[in-house]
Structure 1
Amino acid sequence: MFDLLPDRVPWYVVGPGLGLLIILLYSVANQPLGASGAYGQTLGLARRRADVTVWRVWYFVGMFLGGLLVTQVLREGAEVRSGYDAMRE
């Protein structure tokens, strides 16, 4: 499976691909998707709007708590690597 993408995929392939995926998902679901949508829904909950999608609020809270957890767990003695090389071991 790891031989499928031996190196990083170039940005000019991944960027437009993600953009098209977001547009496709937006056209199917007719709602903003991703972190931006979750941020907006969390803001709507804070403003007590009635049309808040609750799972997006939990998604946003989970991103925050996940980042906090990783920074606390990886505080000392962790080796941070990026790219597909990190998945090979």
Structure 2
Amino acid sequence: MKDELMQVWYRVTFMVTDHLGERCEYSIFCQGSSETGTAVSAVVGILNSKEEFSSPTFKSIRIATYHEAEQFEAELDELADQDAKKLEEEGDE
């Protein structure tokens, strides 16, 4: 247990440029085992999103609250259940 990597949820905030050229604050929640790795994952997520953001500038990072983390875990479980159900339906066809 001593050498186990802990995955936690982080809230990472960036300043980004939107598709209109305006600078705005944008926060994203990511799961990771370190602040640095999570910040990198978050910026990759922003740049690969359909939101058309550019020029992300790191602003802050914090560990998600217990309530936020519970919500994300519940949503991930629900998505996994939906995927399993969809695969099961496709297998029945």
The TM-score normalised by the length of structure 1 is: 0.32
Higher-helix-fraction structure: 1
The TM-score normalised by the length of structure 2 is: 0.31
Higher-strand-fraction structure: 2
